[in-house]
Structure 1
Amino acid sequence: MYKQPLDPHLMDDLIIDCQSCSGICCIALYFSKIDGFPQDKKAGVPCLHLCQDGLCAIHSELTKRRLTGCIQYDCLGAGQIVTQSLYPKTMWQDHPDQKEQLFSDFVKVFQLQQIRWYLLQCTCLNGMEDLLSDLTQLLMEIESAFINQECLKNCSLSNMHQRANIILKEVSRRFSHQWSERPKKPMFSKKLDHQQFIETDFTMSLLIGSDFKKSQLTRVNFLGADLRQVDFSGADLYECLFLTQGQINAAIGDQKTKLPPYLKRPDSWK
């Protein structure tokens, strides 16, 4: 499925790096305790555990405290782009007049990074030669939006979504059996272990708590699927399509789980 050799640094700009951020996600976003965050928190209000340096005071205790929302969250590198490129050396506390725009830009950059992640995955696949021109052009435009605040302002998110969706739909049709845009039926806690799935379409499916232990999943499409507490222990996901780090962080796995080459095994997986 993948082109060889794969570029080991292809996704470097989409890997979360809290040390290079200022804790924007812990301020800008709405949190709910029921979703595994420390508190119910309105957007724009700092988390009670956020330190002045932008780091988390209880980061080493997240697993022990079962704060799954914090463990699963992945900004795809949006935080460091905002902190390092768009608002360099700017801490939101020092510039209260800019914070609303900064938080709004963070959300926009995160959405652009989501699009970028999927498009970069497409460039890794064989048989996409006819789409490479459109892929390359769209990726260049997204990267150009991160040059400065003015460039980001002039970048149309809706236009990016529309053009990316055309590409992702076409790639999905080529790789997924009976691909469909129709909403998928919920599959909560389904027992699907020790099975073989080939070109199965799980796009936008609710698979919460399902069991895929020791299953073989080949060219399976997980675009936008909800994988919270899905058990992939011992499963082979190497050739799965459109998996993100956030989805994997939300799932359960172990040292025998085979992941796609662009994803990292979560520390919580034993």
Structure 2
Amino acid sequence: MKVKTGLYKHPIDSHLMKPLTIDCQNCSGICCVALYFSKIDGFPQDKKAGVPCIHLCPNGLCAIHSDLAKRNLTGCTHYDCFGAGQIITQSLYAGTLWWEHPDLKEQLFSDFMKVFQLQQMRWYLLQCTCLNQVEDLLPDIVQILSEIESAYMDLDHLKHCSQANLHERTNIILKEVSRRFGSQWSDRPKKPMFSKKFDHRLFDKTDFSMALLIGSDFRKSQLIRVNFLGADLRQVNFSGADLYECLFLTQGQINAAIGDAQTRLPPYLKKPASWK
């Protein structure tokens, strides 16, 4: 009789995702300037990319950071840059504050977005290294990860980094991993499933990649090897749900969802402080 192999290798390195964990205290508020904001998405104001948020202090910190949850500024509390802000602030532009160098501002913000996208690829690839049944893919995964990390050596390496090539190769890996675990990831957009009732159900190898699931209810559901790559999980209720064996979840997706102490997450994710 064939024995089912568990999804994860054991033990999983508890520090695996540390380089991709946000540290706003050691950044300079880059996301609060570089990004477009919309009040309807839970940000303090409608603003264009490149314009500082009205609450951004001269030291690069947020004046209302401790009150973001009370003010229901979910766009701010849910955002996750995968640690791109620290890489820009502490490494690539060390000692260079964007507001002191207006001539560099546009390039710095552009590089921030590039690093963000590279860090996103890095997140997914590191997830893959935790999985069983991917040993033959590891040389390619390690090679791509090495190339991404090399891009952070200095601005010249970042400039000459082929982001499109890395993205294409990363997609090949993710699609193959999806196929092996029974959920064929498709680039094609799916029909929106806003506020759908999925509570108390079993989902096995379901493909929710790139799906709009805003406000849907998965309370006390069991989700086995479900693919959530790129899915919009804002206000999705996972209270009491088992997500331990789901594929391609990010911390930002979980931050945007609803859960509780009984929600079971993959081992590389942390429960938001707002989950009681």
Alignment TM-score, normalising by the size of structure 2: 0.96
1:211-264 alpha-carbon deviations (Å, 9 max, x no partner): 000011111110011101100001011111000011001111111111111111
Q: Indicate how the Cα distance of structure 1 residues 27 and 6 shifts in structure 2: closer, same or farther if over 3 A, else same.
A: same
For residues 179-258 of structure 1, the aligned pairs below 5 Å read 179-258=185-264
Q: Report the secondary structure of 2:136's partner residue.
A: helix
The letter for the 1-side match of 2:16 is: L
Query: Identity over aligned residues, as a percent?
Result: 76
Deviation at 1:132, TM superposition (A): 0.4
Q: Report the secondary structure of 2:226's partner residue.
A: strand
Residues 176 and 221, structure 1, Cα contact 8 Å, conserved in 2: no
The letter for the 1-side match of 2:198 is: L
Deviation at 1:190, TM superposition (A): 0.7
Q: Report the secondary structure of 2:49's partner residue.
A: coil
Q: Report the secondary structure of 1:117's partner residue.
A: helix
Deviation at 1:180, TM superposition (A): 4.0
1:167-206 alpha-carbon deviations (Å, 9 max, x no partner): 0110111113455443221111110001111111111111
Q: Report the secondary structure of 1:217's partner residue.
A: strand
Residues 86 and 146, structure 1, Cα contact 8 Å, conserved in 2: yes
Corresponding position of 1:175: 181
The letter for the 1-side match of 2:124 is: Y
Corresponding position of 2:97: 91
The letter for the 2-side match of 1:209 is: G
Q: Does residue 1:40 correspond to 2:40, yes or no?
A: no
The letter for the 2-side match of 1:184 is: K
Runs of 4+ displaced beyond 6 Å: none
* Alignment partner of 1:269 out of 261, 264, 275: 275
- In the alignment, structure 1 segments of 5+ residues that lack a partner are none
Residues 183 and 227, structure 2, Cα contact 8 Å, conserved in 1: no
Q: Report the secondary structure of 1:98's partner residue.
A: helix
**CA-atom RMSD, angstroms?**
0.9
Residues 233 and 256, structure 2, Cα contact 8 Å, conserved in 1: yes
Residues 28 and 45, structure 1, Cα contact 8 Å, conserved in 2: yes
* Alignment partner of 2:131 out of 98, 121, 125: 125
* Alignment partner of 1:8 out of 3, 8, 14: 14
Corresponding position of 1:53: 59
The letter for the 2-side match of 1:104 is: S
Q: Indicate how the Cα distance of structure 1 residues 96 and 129 shifts in structure 2: closer, same or farther if over 3 A, else same.
A: same
1:28-74 alpha-carbon deviations (Å, 9 max, x no partner): 11101111100011111110101111111101111111101001100
* Alignment partner of 1:68 out of 56, 67, 74: 74
* Alignment partner of 2:32 out of 26, 29, 32: 26
The letter for the 2-side match of 1:236 is: D
The letter for the 2-side match of 1:66 is: N
Q: Report the secondary structure of 1:97's partner residue.
A: helix
Corresponding position of 2:3: none
Task: Give the distance between the partners of 1:214 and 1:15, measured in 2 at CA.
Answer: 28
Residues 238 and 260, structure 1, Cα contact 8 Å, conserved in 2: yes
Corresponding position of 2:155: 149
- In the alignment, structure 2 segments of 5+ residues that lack a partner are 1-6
* Alignment partner of 2:144 out of 133, 138, 143: 138
Task: Give the distance between the partners of 1:91 and 1:219, measured in 2 at CA.
Answer: 43
Task: Give the distance between the partners of 1:178 and 1:73, measured in 2 at CA.
Answer: 28
